[in-house]
Structure 1
Amino acid sequence: MLSLYLSKRFRQSKRKTGFVSLLSKASTLGVMLGVAVLIIALSVINGFEQQLEERLLSVVPHVSYEAPYDPINDWQAKVELLNQHQAISAAAPEINLTAMVQFKGQLKAAKVKGVEPNIHAKVSSVSRYIEGRNLDELAAGTLILGSRIAASLNLTLGDKVTLLVANKQAEQPLSAPKRIGVTLIGLVKMGGPIDESIALVNLADLQSALGLEPTQTTGLRAKVQDVFNAHQIAMAAGSSLPDLVYVNSWFRTQGSLYQDIQMVRTIVFLVVFLIIAVASFNIVSSMVMEVKEKQASIAILKTMGAKDRTIFATFALQGVGYAVIGALFGTIIGVLLAINLPDLFNAIFTQTDNNPLAGVYFVEFLPSKLIWSDILVTLGVTFILALLASVYPAWQATKTAPASVLGNG
């Protein structure tokens, strides 16, 4: 193709001024950096979204039903009722309350969950993050505690601790709390705030403390197949329960985090898109100057019979070529950094004390997930912008008048 050959020759030819070369290189560098940054940023956001779904949402309840007044009777039948709903994968009984963990005169607040170990494993993946004995060994009188709570109380596996639970059966509101003696058998090391709050005990321990029958519970929990449609599923499945319950989904407890991730994705894409756009349209200035520099060559080509569309395609390909080179190197840099970003982060922040994510988010590392569709969208947008930026200079090249240019020469 003649236009491609001429474009290559013009790019390789020695320019009369180094300023044009500097502008074209700056445009290429800007596109490269913009593409690389966008790929890395989107990969990090995708990584956080993946960890939210696979890590945090595997532990927190997708859907929960809490009895505000009277306990839920015959929880086995209610669990079976929820299991019959087509959008629910599994259901389990659960008692949730806030209690104090006491050890050697020290106190620490915790969100205590009373669970049936065998059934709870169907609705939660917390067992993946437990060190010590497994969740199915959580018998009456035992405790699995968040690792940071244990660290703050200097607890080790095998220690005997006391749970102080509010005595709701007492006639006086300031009555002494009920004391539940338990033995620490496991630690939850998930990373993030959950390690500072979670405590798991056998359902029978809290039933006894609250004066409930073995068939009674204060809450039910369900795992849904489509986590991003959890609220609608919660309402639909909850209508089948005969008990008066409060309906909750993870959107009410963790939904703001998910919305923040989506908002950051939009902002990052728009900001970096504008960076790529500025870099792409810098091609306009470099190409305009290059057209002026190559006027004599254009005039000679026209006198030799070159058509306007050939001239147009020559300079359009040259402008797009600058962006394509930048996008290619930017993609390579972005992909390599995105793949190795978690390892680079861990190498830089080796200690918990200097880790900016420690105790802030639900993960203490920088996740990254490379999605090739993001790369294709980035490259597609870059190509379109470069093409648009090259139209005007290429059109200006076709307006070169051979007589005036060669006559003045």
Structure 2
Amino acid sequence: MLDRLPFLVGLRYVRAERRNHFISFISLTSMLGLMLGVAVLILVLSVMNGFDHELRTRILGMVPHAKIEARDGLVEWETLAERLVQRERVVGAAPFIEQQGMFSMGGRNEGVMAYGIHPDWEDQVSIIGQHMLEGDLSDLVPGEWNVVLGAMLARNLGVGVGDRVTLLVPEASITPAGVFPRLKRFTVSGIFSVGAELDANLAYAHLEDMQTLARMGDAVDGVRLELDDLFVAGSVTRSIVNELGPNYRGSDWTFSHGNLFQAIQMEKRMIALLLTVIIAVAAFNIVSTLVMVVTDKRADIAILRTIGATPRSIMGIFIVQGLAIGVIGIAVGVTLGVVLAWTISDLIGWVESTFGIQFLDAGVYFISDLPSRLHWADVRDIVLAAFGLTFLSTLYPAWRAARVQPADVLRYE
């Protein structure tokens, strides 16, 4: 019987209605604090994981993991692409021409990064073909001067499929009438949307059309690579450049979007730390709860000691009581946090559509909707951290209870 004493009495103290309602209030506050802290931490980390996932799949699905460029242009790009695909870690390669410019239509002007691509190769390094709203990459036919625009770019220009737009590039053409910027009329053959800032500044034309516009002949700027692990892009790029020689240069996604990824990781760590502090505050409220319970139950402790309970058993009673409070709060918090993590995207979408507001503007943020991605490893770490803090919070009150002397208490009973 005495072996089960800590569990029997500790759980009874949790269920019993106390004479001191203030103790009950503090106990309930501790439980609610743990619940909210755990739930919010799970939700926030899930949202941060969602941002991280969207960055990898959307932004880095459009942005090449690595680029290998030749200083004077690359003519035999097919040979190089087939050679690079044979390398370890490289899963795809495609040629490209990169041209900064400005699209003009009906008095509207929008800056753009125009890429010359080969439709038959592009799927190896980009997800654009999976996000076409209208048209298809196969509509990019050499000599027809077709172009595929991002949805936001098309909306800003006020154009749709079949409309014609003018691309101005920052290179001069010398004519008998003087020096004029180089420009070319394109027909919009498709519109894509990845739900990110890239929809506002990317356009794709056929490789041969861009070669003609850039006066590059049969050369391209270089080859874009898709890797099986984007975090090895730097080492793979350096290895390739060292092998190819000094006439080649390389870059990877960390040059263009590395800061954004690092910012998300830093924010995730800092938010996790701050919310863990909230959980710690709620857990340490258990200290005050149990200290008051110990004071309230001094007579009970003295009686238990006189019938054979050891100081260790007395400590166990209040450790069990504190852990029971913590476990209830953590369990409810985990349930609430997981449900919110699974439904927050739909909930925010409903709020936006119902009240006509927008929480994330794709013109400011790199996505237009709130992503959420639950990782069970995060849930496990949160539960372990909260449980550990709760356990630490029970030690001092339990130690105080074990030091109660039965003779001192019963002398005045």
Separation in 1 of the partners of 2:171 and 2:374? Answer: 51
2:400 aligns to what? Answer: 396
Establish whether residue 73 from structure 1 lines up as the match of residue 64 from structure 2.
no
45, 50, 53: which one pairs with 1:50?
53
5+ residue gaps, structure 2? none
Describe the superposition over 1:208-239 as per-residue Cα deviations: whole angstroms up to 9, x where unpaired: 1222222x112221111110111111111222
1:406 maps to which of 384, 406, 410: 410
TM-score, with structure 1 as normaliser: 0.95
Alpha-carbon deviations, 1:298-318, whole Å to 9, x = none?
111111111222111111100
**Structure 1, 158-167 or 55-64: larger mean CA deviation:** 158-167
What CA distance in whole angstroms lies between the structure 1 residues aligned with 2:317 and 2:359?
52
Are positions 1:257 and 2:249 aligned together?
no
Quote the Cα distance in structure 1 between the aligned partners of 2:265 and 2:238: 24
Which residue of 1 is the match for residue 338 of structure 2?
A: 335
**2:186 aligns to what SS in structure 1?**
strand
Computed over aligned residues only, the root mean square deviation of the Cα atoms, in angstroms, reads 1.9
Structure 2 SS opposite 1:354: coil
Q: Structure 1's 177 and 26: CA in aligned 2 closer, same or farther, altered over 3 A?
A: same
Separation (CA, whole Å) in 1 of partners of 2:116 and 2:372: 35
> 2 CA distance for matches of 1:103 and 1:6?
79
> How many Å separate the matches in 2 of 1:166 and 1:309?
81
1:348 aligns with 2:351: yes
Specify the SS of the correspondent of 2:74.
coil
Give how far 1:192 is off. Answer: 2.4
Contact 2:345–2:372 under 8 Å retained in 1:
yes
3-state SS in 1 of match to 2:73? coil
Residue 292 of structure 2 is aligned to residue 289 of structure 1:
yes
Q: Which residue of 1 aligns with 2:17?
A: 14
Query: What residue number does 2:26 align with?
Result: 23
Q: How does 1:9-408 map to 2 (within 5 A)?
A: 9-68=12-71, 70-140=72-142, 141-167=145-171, 175-214=179-218, 216-242=219-245, 244-350=247-353, 354-408=358-412
Deviations 1:157-202 (A, max 9, x none): 1112222223367599x93122322211111222221111001000
CA pair 243-72 structure 1, distance change in 2 beyond 3 A: farther
Describe the SS at the equivalent of 2:195: coil
Q: Which residue identity lines up with residue 149 of structure 1 in the other structure?
A: L
Q: 1:361 to 1:245 in 2, by over 3 A?
A: farther
Gaps of at least 5 residues in structure 1 are none
Shift of 1:130: 1.5
> How far is the alpha carbon of 1:80 from its aligned partner?
2.0
- 1:391 maps to a residue whose letter is L
| Separation in structure 1 between the aligned mates of residue 331 and residue 357 of structure 2, nearest angstrom | 38
Q: For 2:312 and 2:297, locate their aligned partners in 1 and report how far apart those are by CA, in whole Å.
A: 17
SS of residue matched to 1:366:
coil
Conserved 8 A contact 1:101-1:110: yes
8 Å CA contact retained: 1:78, 1:241: no
State the one-letter code of the partner of 1:403: A
Asked whether the equivalents of residues 58 and 196 of structure 2 are also in contact (C-alpha less than 8 Å), the reply is no
Query: Aligned AA for 1:337?
Result: L
Greater displacement, 292-301 / 105-114: 105-114
Could you say what secondary structure the match of 1:95 adopts? strand
Matched residue of 2:411: which SS? helix
CA–CA separation in structure 1 for the residues paired with 2:77 and 2:245: 11
CA distance in 2, matches of 1:304, 1:83: 79
The structure with the largest strand share of the pair is 2
Q: Distance in 2 between matches of 1:178 and 1:255?
A: 33
Aligned-residue identity in percent: 35
Three-state SS of the structure 2 residue aligned to 1:339 is helix
Q: Matches of 1:103 and 1:403 in 2, distance apart?
A: 94
**Alignment size in residue pairs:** 406
Contact preservation (8 Å) 1:169, 1:210 = no
Q: Give the letter aligned to residue 220 of structure 2.
A: T
Structure 1 residues 306-351: Cα deviation after superposition (integer angstroms, max 9, x where no partner): 1222111111100111111110111111011110000011111228
Structure 2 counterpart of 1:139, one-letter code? V
Question: How far off its partner does 1:245 sit?
Answer: 3.3
Distance 2:138 2:409 in 1: 88
Task: Say whether the 8 Å CA contact 1:145–1:200 is kept in structure 2.
Answer: yes
Structure 2 SS opposite 1:65: strand
In structure 1, C-alpha distance between the alignment counterparts of 2:174 and 2:221, rounded to whole Å: 18
Q: Do the aligned residues in 1 keep the contact of 2:241 with 2:249 (CA within 8 Å)?
A: no
Q: Distance in 2 between matches of 1:355 and 1:401?
A: 60
Aligned-partner residue type, residue 5 of structure 1: L
2:385 match: secondary structure: helix
Q: Distance in 2 between matches of 1:188 and 1:147?
A: 6
How many angstroms apart in 1 are the aligned matches of 2:149 and 2:356? 20
Instruction: Please say if residues 302 and 404 of structure 2, whose CA atoms lie closer than 8 Å, have aligned partners that are also in contact.
Output: yes
Amino acid at match of 1:175: V
List, as ranges, runs of 4+ consecutive aligned residues in structure 1 with deviation greater than 3 Å: 166-172
Greater displacement, 182-191 / 158-167: 158-167
Amino acid at match of 1:393: P
